[in-house]
Each structure stands twice: as C-alpha cells, then as structure tokens.
C-alpha cells in the first residue's frame, strides 16, 4: 500500500463512519465489514437492515449483537465490548473491533443427494442399494453460535460452502432414518412425507449446533437399482395378467421367445423362437376364448386363481444385448436352458447376488453346458 493510500485511510478514519451491508447477492450468509486496521471510530453509525443482524467481534470472540435498525456506537450501547476492553464511559478514541453482518433470511430450495448408494436390508429383496435426493430450507437462527462453529473456524461465508459441510450430516442421519423405519422398498414412495418429517426431527438438533434452523426438509425421490426395478416391472406384468398359473406360463413363454430371438448363441436359434411364437399364439387364443365366453356364448367372468402349493416365486433376471428379461423361476429357467433358448454364458442376476454373472457360475446351474442334439428314436421292430 502506498503512502498516499495509507494517509487517505487514516484521515478517513477520523470522520464518522457509516457501517452497513448492501447485499447484492443471492447466496451470501456472512459479510465482514472492511475497516482499516480494525479501528472503528467511536460514535460510528451502524445500520442493520431487515433480515440482517450485526455482530461486533473482539479479538476473535463474539461480543455485542445488533438487530435491524440504526445504532450509534458508544460505550453505552456496547456493554459486552466495553466490559472486555475496560473502557470508561465517554472514551472517544477508535476501538479495535470487527463487524460481521449475517443474512437471516430463509434460504430455500437447497439441494441434497446421495453421492454413493446407501446399503439397506429389505425384507423382500434382501440387501439392496438405494439412492435418494431432495431439498431443504434453512436460516441463521443464532449468529454467535454460527460465527463460533462455522465462520470463526472454517471461514465459510456462502450457502455453497456451508451446504457442502452439511451434506454429510444429512446423509448420515437420513440413512439411519430409512434403515430404522423398516419400510419395505416397494412402500417407500408412499412414505415420503413420514420419512421427511422424521428426517427433519433427527437433523434439527444437528443444524442447531451450527446456529442454523432447519425450516423445511423434503425427500423427493428414493430410487432402486436397475435390476430391482426390472424385477418390479415384471411383477407389474403379472399383476395385470393375474395370478393364474396358465397366464404366468404364457408370460414366461413370451419372454423366453424374446430371449431366444435376442440370443443367437443359444442352441435353438431362430427356429425355436418362431415355433414358440406359434405355440404362444395358440395358447393365448385358447385362454382368451375360455375366459371371455361362458355357457350359451354369453360373456363370463374368469374363475378365481387356483391355489398352487409349493409354487416358487420368480427370482432370476437375464440380460441380453442390454435388455433385461424375467424374472423366472428355477424350473422355468432350467427348461429354457434345456430347450436351448438360453445359453449357460447368459448374464443373470437374482436377489442377494453381488452382481450380474454367467448362469453357469451360480450353484443352481453349476456344470451346465450347451444341450446335446436330440437322440433319434429306435428303429421299428421287424415285420411292422
């Protein structure tokens, strides 16, 4: 700094100062008023606007706090700072102090989200990975606590800087909230409001420790892994068709045809796909005729689904050329492998598996190989 600039600042410090903050930003939480050599002239005018508070700092420690309005800084209205300094009433020299302005308005639409998937144990799918994101709103409720916890130690002054520090707190507490709720993965979407309220209750004390008030907290989405979503889509198909064993078999046959057509490495090839398609058409035609027409040609309601003792739930999903098929039962998938519609090297997944892997690597299909060509029938007996 040049001699002339130094002289100008010293001369300026002898006049009555106007200390204020005209905030022209959208994300500033804190503003430190620039004062030459940290010397504030006695009788300086401090102007605090709405949605602001001003804090006098003495040697790094919070002293007097001022709410919106205009204040003339004297020893009369600086009780804490005067006590710390030991000044007598009427002392007119500049005093060493800093002034920090805090923006106390509500900061809305702040984003949070999981950087990495959160592991969760689900009663239906086993171990699954969840991703979640949402929004929240906060404001500075205790300027002294905020200065001590955030500004004085880390020097953070904008929402982007502070939200980065808060994100880890949000994710940690929210992960606990979702896990402790024991809500099934398929039911989480219907419980967003309950989870949001529970998450706010857990997070509010954490925010208060920083001098912040968590005014709102929302969960906007909790997403499942792609393979689990694919399994849910298949269950939706079953729900549309109903639970009858014949309709389930039709669905399995239709998906098997798609897998065979998309999997040229299978032993069946295109011929099996065409044959399955013809058989599929006949099966569906018979099923529709039976369910739609009753005695005398009148429309009839489909009978209730019969009980199927010991029927295993489908669990296997297959991927061919980037598309997912299934889920299939053990028996259905073994039949598809025997028929050559699915090769042992086809990538598969089931709940609880670490990831996609060839079918032959699963113990249920260990040692599977391409089917042998069919054996011709024995010749007829002589004389026939």
pLDDT in tens, 323-364: 778 788 888 888 888 877 888 888 888 887 878 888 888 888
C-alpha span between 137 and 216 (Å, rounded): 5
pLDDT for residue 307 is more than 70: no
Return the pLDDT at 108.
92
Q: Report CA dihedral (272, 278, 280, 281) to the nearest 10 degrees.
A: 160
Report whether 14 contacts 36 (CB < 8 A). no
Return the pLDDT at 285.
44
Return the pLDDT at 66.
95
pLDDT band at 373 (very low <50, low <70, confident <90, very high): very low
**Which segments of the chain does DSSP mark as H helices, in order?**
3-12, 79-85, 143-146, 152-154, 159-181, 192-209, 226-241, 245-262, 269-292, 330-338
pLDDT band at 56 (very low <50, low <70, confident <90, very high): very high
The residue to which tokens 């990538």 are assigned: 347
51: preceding bond cis by omega (within 30 degrees): no
CB atoms closer than 10 angstroms to residue 341: 26
For residue 342, give the nearest of 354, 352, 362 by alpha carbon. Answer: 362
162 vs 231: which has the higher pLDDT: 162
C-alpha span between 102 and 52 (Å, rounded): 5
Return the pLDDT at 19.
92
Angle at CA of residue 7, ends 2 and 8, nearest 5°: 100
Angle at CA of residue 322, ends 354 and 124, nearest 5°: 40
Which tokens go with 246? 């014949």
**Which pLDDT tens digit goes with each residue over 130-173?**
888 999 999 999 999 999 988 886 677 888 888 887 888 888 88
Instruction: Write down the mean pLDDT value for the chain.
Output: 74
Return the pLDDT at 65.
94
Most confident of 35-44, 61-70, 82-91: 61-70
C-alpha span between 132 and 136 (Å, rounded): 13
Return the pLDDT at 46.
93
Cα–Cα distances in angstroms (integers) from residue 179 to residues 72, 119, 123, 124, 193, in the given order: 55, 9, 11, 14, 16
**Which pLDDT tens digit goes with each residue over 292-305?**
344 444 444 333 33
Return the pLDDT at 267.
44
Q: 107-224 belongs to which homologous superfamily?
A: Band 7 domain (3.30.479.30)
Starting at the earlier edge strand, list the strands of the sheet with 52-58. Answer: 30-32, 98-103, 52-58, 61-66
C-alpha span between 111 and 211 (Å, rounded): 20
pLDDT band at 93 (very low <50, low <70, confident <90, very high): low
Burial of 86 (0-12, 13-18, 19+ CB in 10 A): exposed
**Which pLDDT tens digit goes with each residue over 170-207?**
888 887 777 777 788 778 888 889 889 989 999 999 99
Return the pLDDT at 380.
55
Region(s) of the chain under CATH 3.30.479.30: 107-224
pLDDT band at 13 (very low <50, low <70, confident <90, very high): very low
13 vs 367: which has the higher pLDDT: 367
289 vs 122: which has the higher pLDDT: 122
């Amino acid at each position: 700094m040049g001699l002339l600039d130094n002289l100008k600042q010293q001369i300026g410090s002898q006049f009555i100062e106007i200390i204020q903050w005209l905030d022209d930003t959208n994300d500033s939480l804190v503003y430190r008023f620039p004062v030459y050599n940290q010397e504030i002239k006695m009788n300086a005018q401090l102007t605090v606007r709405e949605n602001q508070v001003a804090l006098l700092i003495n040697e790094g420690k919070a002293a007097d706090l001022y709410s919106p309005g205009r204040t003339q800084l004297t020893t009369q209205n600086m009780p804490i700072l005067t006590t710390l300094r030991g000044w007598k009433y009427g002392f007119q020299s500049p005093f060493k102090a800093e002034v920090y302005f805090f923006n106390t308005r509500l900061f809305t639409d702040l984003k949070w989200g999981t950087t990495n998937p959160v592991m969760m144990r689900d009663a239906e799918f086993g171990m699954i990975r969840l991703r979640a994101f949402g929004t929240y709103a906060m404001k500075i409720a205790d300027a002294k606590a905020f200065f001590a916890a955030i500004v004085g130690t880390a020097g953070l002054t904008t929402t982007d800087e502070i939200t980065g520090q808060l994100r880890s707190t949000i994710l940690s507490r929210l992960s606990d909230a979702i896990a402790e709720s024991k809500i099934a993965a398929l039911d989480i979407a219907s419980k967003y409001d309950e989870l949001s309220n529970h998450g706010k209750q857990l997070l509010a004390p954490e925010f208060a420790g920083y001098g912040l008030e968590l005014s709102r907290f929302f969960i906007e989405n909790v997403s499942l892994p792609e393979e689990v979503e694919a399994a849910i889509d298949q269950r939706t198909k079953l729900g549309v068709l109903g639970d009858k064993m014949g309709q389930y078999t039709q669905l399995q046959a239709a998906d098997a045809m798609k897998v065979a057509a998309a999997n040229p490495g299978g032993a069946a090839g295109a011929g099996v796909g065409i044959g399955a398609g013809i058989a599929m058409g006949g099966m569906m035609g018979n099923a529709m005729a039976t369910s739609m027409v009753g005695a005398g040609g009148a429309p009839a309601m489909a009978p209730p689904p019969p009980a199927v003792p010991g029927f295993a739930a489908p669990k296997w999903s297959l991927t061919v050329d980037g598309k997912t098929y299934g889920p299939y039962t053990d028996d259905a998938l073994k039949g598809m492998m025997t028929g050559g519609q699915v090769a042992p090297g086809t990538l598969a997944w089931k709940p609880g598996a670490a990831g996609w892997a060839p079918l032959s690597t699963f113990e249920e299909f260990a040692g599977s190989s391409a089917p042998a060509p069919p054996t011709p029938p024995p010749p007829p007996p002589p004389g026939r």
